[in-house]
């Protein structure tokens, strides 16, 4: 578990399925991630069982608000729209990157929809730099020496 001032970051489990199902249907998920509207609960549980290296972000009061991961050197994040614009994505991603760099060197990548201004802003605040465009997605890179 990773803990910050306001958050707990724990390994994702099948018990996080309700949050995933809720976020699948949110407008922002549909707009930027091609959200999955019609997956069954069983299909999403199976997805979570296979989701290695993923963490669930929760407020210290136990409310689950999103997911983050670093897998194959790629940072990933998705948050419940009800909890955006509070700095939780920055706080949790920063904590996860810091934890990652304790045991790893090198580069972390992130991919975001080129129209997702909030995601781009988050990556830039974390120290990521634009690398290249890959169709409708922009790829960003973070080198350890630029992360503080």
pLDDT band at 36 (very low <50, low <70, confident <90, very high): low
pLDDT for res 26: 83
Find the Cα–Cα–Cα–Cα dihedral 25, 28, 34, 36, rounded to 10°: -10
pLDDT band at 80 (very low <50, low <70, confident <90, very high): very high
pLDDT for res 82: 94
Domains of the chain by residue range: 2-106
pLDDT for res 37: 65
pLDDT for res 111: 94
Question: From the CB of residue 79, how many other CB atoms can be counted at a distance below 10 Å?
Answer: 22
**Contacts within 8 Å (CB) and 24+ apart, 79-84:** 79/23, 80/19, 80/22, 80/23, 80/26, 81/23, 81/26, 81/27, 81/28, 81/29, 83/59, 84/28, 84/118
**Averaged over 6-33, what is the pLDDT?**
87
Question: By C-alpha distance, which of 69, 68, 67, 89 is closest to 6?
Answer: 89
pLDDT at 35 over 70: no
Residue 114 corresponds to which tokens in the numbers above? 């080129």
pLDDT band at 40 (very low <50, low <70, confident <90, very high): confident
- Taking the C-alpha atoms of residue 69 and residue 86, their distance in angstroms, rounded to an integer, is 19
**Averaged over 102-125, what is the pLDDT?**
93
CATH superfamily membership of 2-106: Gcn5-related N-acetyltransferase (GNAT) (3.40.630.30)
pLDDT for res 39: 80
pLDDT for res 51: 80
pLDDT band at 34 (very low <50, low <70, confident <90, very high): low
- Taking the C-alpha atoms of residue 127 and residue 114, their distance in angstroms, rounded to an integer, is 17
**Averaged over 67-80, what is the pLDDT?**
94
**Averaged over 109-117, what is the pLDDT?**
93
Condensed to tens digits (0 to 9), the pLDDT of residues 82-96 reads 999 999 999 999 999
């Amino acid at each position: 578990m990773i803990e910050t001032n306001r958050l707990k970051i724990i390994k994702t489990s099948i018990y996080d399925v309700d949050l995933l199902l809720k976020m699948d249907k949110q407008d922002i998920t549909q707009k930027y991630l091609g959200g999955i509207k019609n997956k069954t609960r069983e299909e999403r549980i199976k997805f979570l069982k296979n989701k290695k290296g993923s963490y669930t972000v929760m407020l210290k009061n136990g409310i689950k608000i999103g997911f983050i991961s670093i897998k194959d050197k790629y940072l990933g994040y998705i948050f419940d729209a009800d909890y955006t614009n509070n700095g939780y994505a920055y706080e949790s991603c920063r904590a996860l990157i810091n934890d990652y760099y304790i045991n790893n060197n090198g580069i972390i990548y992130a991919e975001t929809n080129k129209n997702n201004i909030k995601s781009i802003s988050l990556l830039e605040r974390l120290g990521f730099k634009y690398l290249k465009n890959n169709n409708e997605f922009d790829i960003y890179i973070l080198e350890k020496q630029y992360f503080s």
